[in-house]
């Protein structure tokens, strides 16, 4: 039983629970609120194309509201209440949820994040030679991609579509290529989202890109930790509000910290910045951080790293905890 008492096991049980709720929620629970969706602004990739789901990822209503509403407001065909207010409500609800749990929505709730971890575990069982960590140079090339996707595919392209500068194919371009759209529908037995749309060149290009991205994500997840999470626009969108998030990763300045690098090695997103020195107790929740807690688990120094909710410590690093966690890891690897 002792082998199951760690934060990673707790997180994966939580991920499985939310995978069932978010992908099959309206089937498992027939109550009004779940059947009619909790919110249209979840800070995780819970796809609206899943007819059995119990929630909406915020990115699809936001793209539609920019395309059909905000663009109309700029053109003068819509009022503030019909053109701008719905977009503000979506962003406001999203921000409120990020304040409550910060970026833990990605590390503890997102169906696509959980799916990639499962594929990674399959790669472990197949004894495939994995890339333990990406280099800093590689990360420098990859990290800007998620910002490009957020700025252009979520905001600018839908706006340009609404203003008439781009075709309707770009009204919700991120959802057109998002792997979660294919994953969550396939999980419910719906094959309709695996297709090539030949109605126009751009529809065809986007649908082919979506199929390729989904297949590439599965292939890469066998060898690399969390491949799509590294370019997902949800992380930078959340990071806009991360400073006001009540849940955070905190580092204490300590002479006990030897910059051993265990935290960065344990991090599935290869955040090397965790091991940098701090002069005062600091919120070090990085843009790429999903608050999974693995860095805290594998830190060998007492109270150097901790997950905190406001001023309360939920889980802190410790020498004894580290020794216990290493033994557990060896057990699971066997």
**pLDDT tens figures, 302-318:** 889 999 999 899 999 98
CA distance linking residue 107 with residue 267, whole number of Å: 11
CA distance linking residue 53 with residue 21, whole number of Å: 7
pTM across the whole model:
0.92
* Helix axes 179-187 and 7-28, enclosed angle (nearest 10): 70
pLDDT of residue 331: 72
- % of the chain beyond a pLDDT of 90: 70
pLDDT of residue 55: 86
Does the structure show a pLDDT above 60 at 220? yes
Lowest mean per-residue pLDDT among 60-69, 167-176, 221-230, 237-246: 237-246
pLDDT of residue 115: 97
CA distance linking residue 145 with residue 233, whole number of Å: 9
**Can you list the alpha helix ranges (DSSP code H) found in 36-79?**
59-64, 71-75
Q: How confident is the model at residue 4 (pLDDT cuts 50, 70, 90)?
A: low
pLDDT of residue 122: 94
Lowest mean per-residue pLDDT among 19-33, 44-58, 153-167, 274-288: 19-33
pLDDT of residue 285: 93
Query: Alpha-carbon dihedral of residues 133, 135, 140, 145, nearest 10 degrees?
Result: -40
pLDDT of residue 255: 63
**pLDDT tens figures, 50-94:** 888 888 899 999 999 999 999 999 999 999 999 999 999 999 999
Q: Which residues contact 245 (CB under 8 A, 6 or more apart)?
A: 98, 99, 100, 101, 102, 103, 285
Beta-strand pair 247-251/282-283: antiparallel
pLDDT of residue 40: 81
Cα→Cα distances 217→180, 226, 229, 230, Å: 11, 9, 10, 11
Q: How confident is the model at residue 109 (pLDDT cuts 50, 70, 90)?
A: very high
Q: How confident is the model at residue 27 (pLDDT cuts 50, 70, 90)?
A: confident
CA distance linking residue 317 with residue 194, whole number of Å: 44
Q: Are 67 and 171 in contact (CB under 8 A)?
A: yes
Does the structure show a pLDDT above 90 at 34? no
Does the structure show a pLDDT above 90 at 30? no
- Average of pLDDT values for 252-270? 84
Does the structure show a pLDDT above 60 at 1? no
pLDDT of residue 330: 74
Q: What is the mean pLDDT of the chain?
A: 90
CA distance linking residue 269 with residue 224, whole number of Å: 10
Lowest mean per-residue pLDDT among 1-15, 66-80, 156-170, 236-250: 1-15
pLDDT of residue 31: 60
Does the structure show a pLDDT above 70 at 173? yes
């Amino acid at each position: 039983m002792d082998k199951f008492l760690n934060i990673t096991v707790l997180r994966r049980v939580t991920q499985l629970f939310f995978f069932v709720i978010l992908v099959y929620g309206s089937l498992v629970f027939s109550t009004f609120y779940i059947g009619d969706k909790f919110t249209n602004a979840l800070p995780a990739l819970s796809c609206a194309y899943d007819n059995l789901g119990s929630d909406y990822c915020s990115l699809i209503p936001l793209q539609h509201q920019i395309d059909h509403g905000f663009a109309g407001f700029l053109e003068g065909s819509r009022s503030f209440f019909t053109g701008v207010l719905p977009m503000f409500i979506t962003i406001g609800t999203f921000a409120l949820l990020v304040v409550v749990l910060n970026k833990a929505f990605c590390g503890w709730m997102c169906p696509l994040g959980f799916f990639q971890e499962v594929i990674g575990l399959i790669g472990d069982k197949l004894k495939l030679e994995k890339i333990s960590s990406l280099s800093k140079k590689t990360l420098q090339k990859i990290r800007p991609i998620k910002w490009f996707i957020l700025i252009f595919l979520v905001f600018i392209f839908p706006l340009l579509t609404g203003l008439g500068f781009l075709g309707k194919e770009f009204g919700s371009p991120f959802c057109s290529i998002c792997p979660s759209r294919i994953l969550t529908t396939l999980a419910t037995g719906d094959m309709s989202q695996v297709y090539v749309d030949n109605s126009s060149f751009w529809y065809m290009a986007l649908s082919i890109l979506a199929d390729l991205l989904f297949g590439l994500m599965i292939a890469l997840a066998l060898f690399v930790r969390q491949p799509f999470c590294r370019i997902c626009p949800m992380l930078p969108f959340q990071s806009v509000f991360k400073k006001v998030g009540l849940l955070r990763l905190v580092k204490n300045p300590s002479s006990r910290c030897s910059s051993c690098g265990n935290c960065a090695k344990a991090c599935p997103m290869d955040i090397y910045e965790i091991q940098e020195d701090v002069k005062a107790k600091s919120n070090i929740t990085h843009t790429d951080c999903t608050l999974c807690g693995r860095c805290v688990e594998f830190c060998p120094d007492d109270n150097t790293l901790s997950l905190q909710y406001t001023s309360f410590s939920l889980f802190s690093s410790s020498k004894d905890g580290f020794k216990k966690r290493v033994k557990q890891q060896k057990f699971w690897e066997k």
